[in-house]
Amino acid sequence: MTVEQVLQDIRSDRVKKVIDDGDFSAEIDDQYALAYLMGSDKIDLLGVNAEAYFEEPVATDTKEVMLRSYAEIERVYGYLGITGEDVPYFKGAESQISNNPGYAPSDSPAARNIIKVAHEMKDEPLYVVVTGPTTNVVSACMIDPSIMDKIVVVWVGGMGVYYDGEAENKRFHEWNLCADVAAAKFLFNNDIPLIFLPTEPEGSCSISQYYRDFGKIRGDSPAGEFFRTILPAKEATGEKYQTKIKVMCDLMGPAVLIIPDSMEYRIVPAPVLTDENSYALDYMRRKIIYGYRPNSEMIVNDMLKTVEKLINK
């Protein structure tokens, strides 16, 4: 698909087929993003993949951290009362492409499932919403390049290189990108339809809410208690629950497909990631979609309503 076709498609009323790929043990916005996708009547969720998150300055064991994310998916499923037969879920990469000899792909059940589902698509694309590192989806494309024209990657990561002026030589320090720089380079360098959702400035980090706003989710089920109280308590309790603000970056990924008018878009050349850990610009590069200026209130309120609907089915 061309970038123009992708923009037209996300703005259409067609139900989108999606795989959610996230680092679910990092922060709690991934779990709400997952529930947002599960509960939306605009999404047909076909699978969920576990990714490892990036933690610094301590180097992480990719396999161990990926397994934490996998366990978190199981915890969310348990509270929602669903199983892998309802929505299959998969273990992701056990090593970063950046750390593999010759930058080889990281084969995994998650990557293989992306390939399988992509080939099952008929006259529509598979949207892979990535709210963590891009290791799984890039590995899938490296293993089977023929899927590149069957998928659209929606990635929450990187920095806002094109916002309000051009940031030539700007450093690209950001968790989801730095977790696997080789994977991010492959994503930008190859002809994979991409909706790039940077974190800042005025990117996904603009989406936020008070922790107490989770208390608006109604429902007497275990799932209601989980999303209203138990999950937020992982990060804030007591006075902090009442006064602290939670950045909800990862909601921007689902929002592109659920409420596309909640942000602005530009068609831009894919940035170059240099060996000096900075961006460079080349206007001859392939074009991607750049999403920015998300409407935080619109996205958060829609997520809260959707999660409430999901848990009270």
Nearest by Cα to 53 from 84, 18, 21, 80: 21
User: What's this model's pTM, rounded to 2 decimal places?
Assistant: 0.94
Total domain count for the chain? Answer: 1
Q: Is the preceding omega at residue 201 within 30 degrees of 0, hence cis?
A: yes
What confidence tens digit (pLDDT) does each residue in 210-233 have?
999 999 999 999 999 999 999 999
Domain with 218 in it: 3-311
Measured in residues, the chain has a length of: 313
Q: How confident is the model at residue 253 (pLDDT cuts 50, 70, 90)?
A: very high
What CA dihedral angle connects 237, 213, 10 and 172, to 10 degrees?
-40
> Rounded to whole angstroms, how far apart are CA atoms 283 and 113?
34
Q: What percent of the chain has pLDDT over 70?
A: 93
CA 70 to chain centre: 15
**Which CATH number do you get for residue 184?**
3.90.245.10
pLDDT at 277: 75
What confidence tens digit (pLDDT) does each residue in 14-53 have?
999 999 999 998 889 999 999 999 999 999 999 999 999 8
What confidence tens digit (pLDDT) does each residue in 51-92 have?
998 765 445 688 999 999 999 999 999 999 999 999 999 999
Average model confidence (pLDDT) across the chain: 91
Q: Which DSSP state fits 75?
A: H
Among 101-115, 236-250, 289-303, which stretch is predicted with the lowest mean pLDDT? 236-250
Beta strands in the chain (DSSP E): 16-22, 43-50, 89-90, 126-131, 151-156, 194-197, 208-210, 245-247, 264-269, 272-273, 279-280, 287-292
pLDDT at 218: 94
pLDDT at 57: 44
Please determine, for residue 195, whether its predicted confidence score (pLDDT) is greater than 70: yes
What confidence tens digit (pLDDT) does each residue in 134-179 have?
999 999 999 999 999 999 999 998 876 665 455 555 666 677 888 8
What confidence tens digit (pLDDT) does each residue in 270-295 have?
988 888 777 777 888 999 999 999 99
Q: Which DSSP state fits 278?
A: B
pLDDT at 162: 61
